[in-house]
């Protein structure tokens, strides 16, 4: 188990972003601001849009990150350390973030 955690530390993007997302779930930005949170023109349209976007995006991003973290742990336990696993996980993470963005925006549009 320590070896797997050591291997994940070579590519900590998923782990670090998961910790940040958990913090966002616990302490979401309360007011519309230009510094942090899910910030798009649609999400900043009103307080209702802002609160919805913060909750929905945090949930989407967290599900994707935790799924990828689990997949990374399983892949490392089966195949050992591999640059290919790191690249695939990062690629899937990027795809997941783009997918999440479109889902949040689609739901914000439906909210309007």
Give the residue with greater pLDDT, 109 vs 3: 109
What does the domain layout of the chain look like in residue ranges? 2-27+37-111
DSSP-assigned letter for residue 17: H
Q: How far is CA 58 from CA 20, 41, 65, 103, in A?
A: 10, 17, 10, 12
Nearest CA among 64, 24, 25, 43 for reference residue 107: 43
Rounded Cα distance, 24 and 19, in Å: 9
Instruction: Give me 90's structure tokens.
Output: 């990062």
Q: What is the pLDDT, as a whole number, of residue 2?
A: 63
Could you report the per-residue pLDDT of 28-72, keeping only the tens digit for each? Answer: 888 998 888 899 999 999 999 999 999 999 999 989 988 988 888
- Its pTM stands at 0.80
Is residue 8 pLDDT above 70, yes or no? no
């Amino acid at each position: 188990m320590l070896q797997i955690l050591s291997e994940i530390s070579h590519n900590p993007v998923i782990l670090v972003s998961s910790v940040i997302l958990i913090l966002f779930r616990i302490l979401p930005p309360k007011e519309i601001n230009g510094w942090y949170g899910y910030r798009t023109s649609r999400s900043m349209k009103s307080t209702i849009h802002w609160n919805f976007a913060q909750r929905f995006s945090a949930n989407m991003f967290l599900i994707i990150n935790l799924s990828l973290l689990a997949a990374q742990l399983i892949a490392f336990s089966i195949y050992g350390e591999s640059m290919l696993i790191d690249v695939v996980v990062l690629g899937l993470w990027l795809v997941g973030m783009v997918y999440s963005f479109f889902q949040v925006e689609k739901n914000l549009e439906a909210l309007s």
